[in-house]
């Protein structure tokens, strides 16, 4: 997306403000094609385009007023990658969080007043010991560790982010899953008063809310699956999914559901948001796979936001399972990944 002069947006970082640049936004052609799908499905109409041009006007140039706080990290993890980190300024200004707007710059602008404390995260379903955590417990229940992971969006851009959090598997074990627990379902907060995209089909991209996601239990128990409560040494900003979000680095980014309020262990495969919207384009598994193209664009390469650049010459090759094949390929042995995408 080429940003026109009158479409520039100011963001604030470390007390200084700067303009969003082309490097902050996604590959134009992919972005347009994803929007074309939504438009074709009747979700983005004339008013949607008004929103896209900033005429709809929710706090368009709001400075980053949400307060994040420093987090104590107990250990760094061996699974961290050594790729160059994406600058924090890009991680927190180029976001997909449709509850706050379907354009990359909108979540950072529209989420600054989001209330994360008090918070309540319930773990229940096929478990012996259901429990609910409050805001403080999200940070104190387990030792927090830093994990530097690649994040590959289905739209063919990627980042490298230093997350802070704990293994999802630890939380699940604490609830003592029953033998019927085959899947793990996740739900984002539903609060249209705070999340303008949930009450506007145009701003919210036509998604049916709350946003929901799911994993198979063995995927959820894999040590790479992380519940993140922070990035770059601080609590998460709201646009990145405060106070707690999932990070599943070998899957396309849409699996990494934000601002989670419910985790439910289930016997049946749970419905998932993008899969419900366009099942032929977004599978349940959503494993990063350079050999299985999205029906409307190639997945063979990606634009690493770290080094910026809107154009194809900056692309790098996408790796199978986003480079985590050693840790996760065994989960999918015997499966036809062209069919179970
Ligand atoms: N979670 C919710 N609730 N709503 C969303 O729109 N977008 C997903 C995922 N989690 C999304 C979400 C997509 S498409 C991506 S690529 C990642 O969040 C982006 O995470 P980031 O903004 O922290 O980079």
pLDDT tens-digit map of 153-195: 999 999 999 999 999 999 999 999 999 999 999 999 999 999 9
Measured from the Cα of 151, ligand 1's closest atom is 24
Q: Which fold has domain 22-332?
A: Sulfite Oxidase; Chain A, domain 2 (3.90.420)
User: What whole-number distance in Å separates Cα of residue 184 and Cα of residue 93?
Assistant: 29
pTM as predicted: 0.84
Q: What is the 3-state secondary structure (H, E, C) of 201-225?
A: CCCCCCCCCCCEEEEEHHHHHCCCC
DSSP category for residue 263: E
- Ligand 1 centroid vs 98 CA: distance in angstroms? 8
Q: Which residues contact 283 (CB under 8 A, 6 or more apart)?
A: 275, 340, 341
Smallest CA-to-CA distance from 152 within 337, 290, 292 is with 290
Q: Which two tokens stand for residue 240?
A: 């990145």
Q: Which residues pair with 123 in a beta bridge?
A: 131, 263
- What is the atom index within ligand 1 of the atom nearest the CA of 94? 22
For residue 64, what pLDDT band results from cuts at 50, 70 and 90?
confident
CA dist 293 and 62 (Å) reads: 37
Kindly report the backbone phi and psi dihedral angles of residue 144, in degrees, each rounded to the nearest multiple of 5, phi listed first: -95, 140
Collapse the DSSP code of 98 into the 3-class scheme (helix H, G, I; strand E, B; otherwise coil) and give the result. helix
Question: pLDDT per residue over 11-61, tens digit each?
Answer: 333 333 333 333 333 444 454 455 555 555 544 433 333 333 333 333 444
| Cross-strand partners of 315 | 303
Q: Which residues line ligand 1 (CB under 6 A)?
A: 95-99, 151, 153, 188, 211, 240, 253-254, 256-259
| Lookup: tokens for 171 | 């939380």
Q: For residue 229, which of 65, 69, 66 has the smallest C-alpha distance?
A: 69
- How does strand 145-152 pair with strand 75-76? parallel
Q: What is the DSSP letter of 118?
A: S
Q: Which of 247, 258, 276, 283 to mutate to test the pocket of ligand 1 (most atoms within 8 A of CB)?
A: 258
CA of residue 253 to ligand 1 center, whole Å: 6
Please answer whether residues 201 and 47 qualify as being in contact, where contact means their C-beta atoms are separated by less than 8 angstroms.
Answer: no
pLDDT tens digit string along 96-142?
A: 999 999 999 999 999 999 999 999 999 999 999 999 999 999 999 99
């Amino acid at each position: 997306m080429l940003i026109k002069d009158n479409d520039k947006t100011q963001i604030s970082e470390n007390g200084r403000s700067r303009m969003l640049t082309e490097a902050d936004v996604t590959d134009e052609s992919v972005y347009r094609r994803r929007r074309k799908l939504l438009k074709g499905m009747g979700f983005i109409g004339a008013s949607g385009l008004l929103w896209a041009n900033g005429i709809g006007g929710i706090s368009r140039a709001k400075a980053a007023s949400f307060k994040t706080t420093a987090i104590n990290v107990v250990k760094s993890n061996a699974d961290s990658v050594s790729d160059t980190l994406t600058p924090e300024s890009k991680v927190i200004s180029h976001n997909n969080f449709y509850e706050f707007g379907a354009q990359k710059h909108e979540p950072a602008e529209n989420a600054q007043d989001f209330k994360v404390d008090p918070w309540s995260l319930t773990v229940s379903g096929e478990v012996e010991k259901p429990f609910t955590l409050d805001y403080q417990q999200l940070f104190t229940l387990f030792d927090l560790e830093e994990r530097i992971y690649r994040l590959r969006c289905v739209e063919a851009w990627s980042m490298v982010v230093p997350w802070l959090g704990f293994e999802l598997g630890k939380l699940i074990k604490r609830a003592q899953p029953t033998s019927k627990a085959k899947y793990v379902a996740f739900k984002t907060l539903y609060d249209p008063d705070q999340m303008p995209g949930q009450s506007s089909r145009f701003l919210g991209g036509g998604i049916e809310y709350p946003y929901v996601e799911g994993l198979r239990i063995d995927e959820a128990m894999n040590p790479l699956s992380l519940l993140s409560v922070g990035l770059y040494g601080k609590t998460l900003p709201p646009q990145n999914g405060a106070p707690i979000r999932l990070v599943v680095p070998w899957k396309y980014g849409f699996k990494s559901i934000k601002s989670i309020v419910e985790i439910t262990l289930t016997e049946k495969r749970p419905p998932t948001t993008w899969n419900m919207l366009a099942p032929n384009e977004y599978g349940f598994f959503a494993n990063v796979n350079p050999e299985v193209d999205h029906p409307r664009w190639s997945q063979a390469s990606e634009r690493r936001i770290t080094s910026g650049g809107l154009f194809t010459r900056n692309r790098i090759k996408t790796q199978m399972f986003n480079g985590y094949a050693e840790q996760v390929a065994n989960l999918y042995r015997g499966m036809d990944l062209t069919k179970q995408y």
